[in-house]
Structure 1
């Protein structure tokens, strides 16, 4: 059995608790800490959970928001337990029913 893990990204909520409601509010604060991201990159960082992020960016966000990593990223179990099977994870589905069929040529009744 394996557990599938996921995470929840709380950047937008933490920004709101600090009175920051626009993604552009972060751009100069990150720049003060040596993190130079475009407005579009910051927008994506705020509106979507990132798949990859530098540790420097993560540390800067925690410093700006006065929080710890555990408040910014909440690790959750996405699926309780996934049984590993040789069928690509379809262990719970029923096997297809076998139907007998007859193939006839058009010229033979």
Structure 2
């Protein structure tokens, strides 16, 4: 089975921890580092996990927030089913492969 990976984008949380509550607060800080993004682009960057992000922008965000890339992105497995263990903690279990069954009218 192929392990499907995803990630959590933690930019909004890091901004809040640094008392930056307006997405537009990032626009001039990025511009100081040579990154020109519109207010709308910055809003999307903060509120939605980006599918593509230039390394220049990524490094600028790390500099602005004084963090590492690991602080901004948390990798996670997205195709696992969570099942609780005997002690109540969640345990990741891969999704089972299921075969598709096509039934025609009149067939059991």
With the shorter chain as reference, the TM-score category is 0.7 to 0.9
1:95 aligns with 2:106: no
Aligned partner of residue 37 in structure 2, secondary structure: coil
Q: Tell me what 2:62 maps to.
A: 62
Distance 2:77 2:45 in 1: 22
The aligned counterpart of 1:45 is 45
Q: Which runs of 5+ in 1 are unaligned?
A: 84-90, 102-109
Calculate the TM-score normalised by the size of structure 1.
0.78
SS of 2:102's equivalent in the other structure is coil
Asked if residue 9 in structure 1 is aligned to residue 9 in structure 2, the reply is yes
Matches of 1:53 and 1:72, distance apart in 2: 12
**In 2, distance between residues paired with 1:25 and 1:100?**
64
Length, aligned pairs only: 94
- C-alpha distance in structure 2 between counterparts of 1:27 and 1:36, whole Å: 8
| Larger gyration radius, structure 1 or structure 2 | 1
Over aligned residue pairs, what C-alpha RMSD do you find?
1.9
CA deviation after TM superposition for structure 1 residue 72, in Å: 0.1
TM-score by length of 2: 0.79
**Structure 2: distance between partners of 1:93 and 1:2:** 16
| Higher normalized contact order (CA 8 Å, seq sep 6+, divided by chain length) | 1
Q: Aligned partners of 2:56, 2:105: CA distance in 1, in Å?
A: 61
CA contact (8 A) 1:35 1:56 kept: yes
